[in-house]
Structure 1
């Protein structure tokens, strides 16, 4: 069922998820930590490790729930981007929001054909049930 564009979207989703993990670790440990030497905020990268294998294996369910969960990182990026004015932390925050947008678009576009197929199947089954109940 997978076509060429879906492969690109899959790799975009996986790549952006991996990039977001690295981005968060570098941000909170090296480039702009809240405290010198790093901060506990680096732990925000841990939840991103959980879906990594499922995204790699193209698990539809994993891609669905991570497309919603990752919006928390978008929110953090926008809030810290607006509040950390003029610092490298603000740039890192906007970068985080951008990476999240790439993941979200790629995940949704990868899942789109599966959603269409599921709707078509559901409609066919509903029509079949209606025909059987009329008889």
Structure 2
């Protein structure tokens, strides 16, 4: 693995881990008013982050790619709280920062590692040439 790729892997893994820790700290310890039950908080706030965590730890490019869809939920949450709840604006800012770090790390790692492993998508022009050659052979 190239050093540049490794950097993005650790950026994604570090921000993902810190985001999990931050959500736990924020929702269970820093939040003054518990408006939801602990089970609801765990299911809605933690479980989605834990789903791709094993693949991110293992360094799988595909998991890094789809983990970006998960982190967008937390980015929306952070932006909404930053706008709507002035008392928790700094908590939301930390969440947004971790989300951006995870998104950049996951995106760059998935792209770079995928190219290193030869997992990239073919260009449309190349696919069309291959299909044309395949169908012309059959005639």
**TM-score normalised by the chain length of structure 1:** 0.81
Q: SS state of the match for residue 70, structure 1? A: helix
Counterpart Cα distance in 1 of 2:22 and 2:53 = 15
Q: Is the 8 A contact 1:13 1:107 kept in 2?
A: yes
Moved more, 60-69 or 10-19: 60-69
Count of aligned pairs: 131
Q: How does 1:11-26 map to 2 (within 5 A)?
A: 11-26=10-25
Q: Is the 8 A contact 2:8 2:105 kept in 1?
A: yes
For residues 51-85 of structure 1, what are the alpha-carbon distances to aligned partners after superposition, in whole Å with 9 as ceiling and x for unaligned? 11110111222112111111000000000011111
Q: How does 1:102-121 map to 2 (within 5 A)?
A: 102-113=101-112, 114=114, 118-120=120-122
Moved more, 56-65 or 92-101: 56-65
Query: 2:50 maps to which residue?
Result: 49
Q: Which runs of 5+ in 1 are unaligned?
A: none
Task: Give the superposed CA RMSD.
Answer: 2.6
**TM-score normalised by the chain length of structure 2:** 0.79
Q: Which has the higher contact order (CA 8 A, sep 6+)?
A: 2
